[in-house]
Structure 1
Amino acid sequence: MQLKNTIQAKLDAYLKIEGITINQFAGISGVNSGTLSSIINGNRPVAVKQLDRITTGMGLPEGELYELYIDEYVVRSTPDWRRMGPFLQRCAELDKLECIRQVVRTIMDNISYAQAVFEMGEEWFAQGKRQAAALLYEGVAESEKYQHSERLALCQYRLFKIALGKDQEANLRAAMHFEYFVERLDEVDQLNALKDLANIYASLHRWNNVDVIAEAMGRKASIQYQNRYHKVSRRAVSKETGRPLCFYILYSHLLRSAVCAERGDYGQALQYVSRYSDFSWVQERTEEARQIMEQFGEWAGANTYLYRLMSGETAVLADYVEFISTREGEIITGLTKIIQAANRFGLNVDPIIECFESRVEFKEQRTRMGKRNVQVTEDQSAVLLYELSVYYLKTQRVHRGLVYLFQNLDLSVRMNSDSGIVGCVALFEQYRHLSSVEDQERYKILIGEVQKSNEKKIGSAAGNR
């Protein structure tokens, strides 16, 4: 007769094959002999700690019996959260993502589990177990997709944050999907969500989106600021924003100045600079608020030089160089804009490049307020490489220009940036006749990587039909 594929059957068979008594196995596993006897006889459910000890006692890898546990206590029984909660925790610790997926898919047929599953997702998200947390958020979101609830919107916000990475197309899809849910968040979470969305659209050069989102963030933050600090009957604060409220108002102005600059409207950009360099209205008196004002004041100084330079006031170049030379966090942005100005106005900035070249590191950037958005940082690196390649190619230093162009093309492929790839291809074709055989061979290899990437996209799209 074939043995049942259950935990108790596996354990019973193991004891018989090994010739071990229950009392002996109790000593090996650390599980009470009475408990073991009840488990084998099917009179007692197995707790996850007991299952782990039994698994180790049998000499099996951690989590080896988890699929059987799911079959017995989730699929074939009424799930008990007191048992499922600890089990899911262990699955997350062991990175058993498929087990988590199976449990969530089954138990979320009962929407009463939604709050417990969501709270566990929040715990894992805070602990950095983001892929495991994503499975919980997806389960809750699927079960509540017709509810239009704040919890659904929070799940989508977390999934948006988890989805962000180096792939620009994937980031765009995540942003466009999440944007629909922003208005369902509470007013505090809306500010953080709008900030995150604006940063992603900025990294993708979607400036119209940035403008709309920045305006909404500033407007909503201003209303909250008025309610908190200026109304006679001030509203009680039930939840704090991630940063002092003044940050969101100032950051809205900074984003909108960047949008104007990208559109070539440097006069309007400077108007916004004057708004985020004015702190006379700020009511917060915390250390964090002080650092925020210092950081925005520094950005205002840098961008005043920058926008004047980009509008043709090349006389400010020396002052701008001196300004960024003492501020490590501004070097990549500053050097990029200096080279853009050089390309636009035909300036010779070789000494400036030589001065900063050894200090340019494409790594995580920090400000007084913490880490800069990773996607924005990578995009800045790509733009700098492109501008350097244009600068050297326009001055007939072809080999050096192509070195930077190939670095940019390689980065654009890794970022899955179609616009970056197209820009590099167009620039290379413009100067192909001046390139060496070695340069053309290197270009061919990189284009091969582009083709592989496109084949993966086509295959993925076909598989999703």
Structure 2
Amino acid sequence: MNHTASVLQHIADFMQEEHVNLRELASKTAINAGTLSSILNKNKILTVDHLDRLTKVMNYPEGYFYEQYIKDHLSQSTLNWRRFKPFLYRCADLDKLDCMEQVIHLLMDNLMYTPLLFDVAEDLYQQNKLKAAELLFENVAVSERHQHSERLALCQYRLFLIRLGNDQEKNYQAAILFEPYVDRLDELDQLDALRDLGNIYRTLSQWDKVELIANRLGHLAKTLYFTARPRVQKNSKPSRPLFTYIALANIFHADVYDTWGEYEQSLQYTSYYADLSWVKEDDDSTRHWKSVFLEWAQANTYVIKLRCGDVSILPNYVAFIEKEQDELIPGLFNIMEAANRYHIDVDHILKQFESELTSYVNKNTTIDIYKSHYSTTFYPLLLHNLAYYYLKKDNYTTGFSFLLKGLEKSAFINNRKCLLKCVGLFEQYRDLASQETLLNYKTIITGVYENEEENSVITFDS
């Protein structure tokens, strides 16, 4: 078949080869015979819907003629959004990003299409068609780069969220690129943007940045809640009640002081988001979030006391973890950190969560970062702590097993800090490793080195 022939020529060839007349083809495609006749005689434009129906009848894969359709019917005619828009959506449906990019470039020569493309990008983002949305946001951002507009800031916000993944180095780069655009967003969007940035910087242990984000978030949220009406666009509203952003800023502060070892300050900020009696609203959503923050405060109080060596809280903290499965990984991390620091025997706790821990260890990938940034970060650190615990107890088989898993997971999410911790721990106990363990270790380290050679990126301290 001649692949350079026009789409209409392919249709005509099909009719001749298969001995299909106009009425039969119209019946098979459910296209009006008069409309089909006008299309074949070039008196009417072939739409993407018509093309999809014809493609199916001709027994070709969906989107088979899209490249040729662009040449025949989009690039050779006056730009018409009513034709381009449905074609973009169909390209997104079929993941035909090359075709999508060709069409975007045709439209971007005329700036009047920028807001229309942005609207499609937003719609596709909401439909979770993220690769297609990313392509559109990138091109709209390029078009708006000299405008300093809110639309440019929204593009950068969406690109930041889309690009988040398991690789912590790339997450850091995404955060750094987006951060300068936060102030250009609508004030309510700023709240969510600061929340998302703060959460990412927490997972990356960028505590100086978390403190700065906490200050900005707290100031903006208090201003909007207590003293001002937010500057918002029509139909805009925060994704959560306003008071929750004030509470979240206090969580950020508490985490910063906890990490810095200033536990009294951390407990002080924890008490701030535990006591939300100042909140004016009393609807179902408010009551829900107040109970959530109170529960978080209770759990984080346990963690802070545990870090101080207060073993008495362990039963209550274990009960909390058992009830809240999303807290399993960070919870066990906190317990193992305390066990190693204060030489606490926690065999009974590990036995209690043995089946859950085994299921995580046997997974081939880490936890979905969109579900839990914190769990993704804590998982390799937990594996390191488990390895340390068992190696110190001379249980070398179990210890090295957790250590090798920790190395694998650290490499997978590109967590260099944990990777170095695992390597350091392994070297301390190398002489006690079996030949099989040494071979597995060498394989992992070789893979890390080769990955670094192939994908060198800017590093950051964590």
TM-score normalised by length of structure 1: 0.90
Matches within 5 A, 1:204-243: 204-227=204-227, 239-243=236-240
Report the AA paired with residue 100 of structure 2. I
Distance across 1 between alignment mates of 2:215 and 2:20:
72
CA RMSD for the aligned pairs? Answer: 2.4
* Aligned match of 2:160: 160
Aligned residue pairs, count: 447
Distance across 2 between alignment mates of 1:105 and 1:420:
43
Distance across 1 between alignment mates of 2:259 and 2:370:
20
Which blocks of at least 5 consecutive residues in structure 2 are unaligned?
362-368
Q: Deviations over 1:110-141 (max 9, x none)?
A: 11011111111111111111111111111211
Report the AA paired with residue 10 of structure 2. K
Distance across 2 between alignment mates of 1:94 and 1:437:
49
Distance across 2 between alignment mates of 1:196 and 1:270:
23
What is the Cα deviation at residue 247 of structure 1?
Answer: 0.8
Residue from 416, 438, 454 that aligns with 1:440: 438
What is the Cα deviation at residue 5 of structure 1?
Answer: 2.8
Q: Deviations over 1:241-275 (max 9, x none)?
A: 00001111111111111111111111111111111
Distance across 2 between alignment mates of 1:40 and 1:62:
20
Is 1:294 aligned to residue 291 of structure 2? yes
Is 1:352 aligned to residue 365 of structure 2? no
* Aligned match of 1:113: 113
* Aligned match of 1:79: 79
Does the CA contact (< 8 Å) of 2:329 and 2:375 recur in 1? no
Is 1:280 aligned to residue 263 of structure 2? no
Distance across 1 between alignment mates of 2:454 and 2:145:
30
Is 1:256 aligned to residue 216 of structure 2? no
Matches within 5 A, 1:40-439: 40-227=40-227, 239-360=236-357, 362=360, 373-439=371-437
- Quick one: structure 1 residues 20 and 59, their matched pair in 2 at CA, closer, same or farther if it must change by over 3 Å? same
Q: Deviations over 1:356-394 (max 9, x none)?
A: 33344649xxxxxxx984322211222211111111222
Does the CA contact (< 8 Å) of 2:408 and 2:444 recur in 1? yes
Q: Deviations over 1:390-429 (max 9, x none)?
A: 1122233222111111111111122122222222112111
Report the AA paired with residue 457 of structure 1. N
What is the Cα deviation at residue 3 of structure 1?
Answer: 10
What is the Cα deviation at residue 29 of structure 1?
Answer: 2.8
Percent identical among aligned pairs is 42
Q: Deviations over 1:202-238 (max 9, x none)?
A: 111111111111221111111110136xxxxx66975
What is the Cα deviation at residue 327 of structure 1?
Answer: 4.0
Does the CA contact (< 8 Å) of 1:74 and 1:107 recur in 2? no
TM-score normalised by length of structure 2: 0.90
Distance across 2 between alignment mates of 1:53 and 1:276:
58
What is the Cα deviation at residue 185 of structure 1?
Answer: 0.6
* Aligned match of 2:39: 39
Report the AA paired with residue 412 of structure 1. S
* DSSP-derived class of the 1:358 partner: helix
Moved more, 440-449 or 371-380: 371-380
* Aligned match of 2:455: 457
Q: Which has the higher contact order (CA 8 A, sep 6+)?
A: 2
Does the CA contact (< 8 Å) of 1:227 and 1:235 recur in 2? no
- Quick one: structure 1 residues 13 and 265, their matched pair in 2 at CA, closer, same or farther if it must change by over 3 Å? same
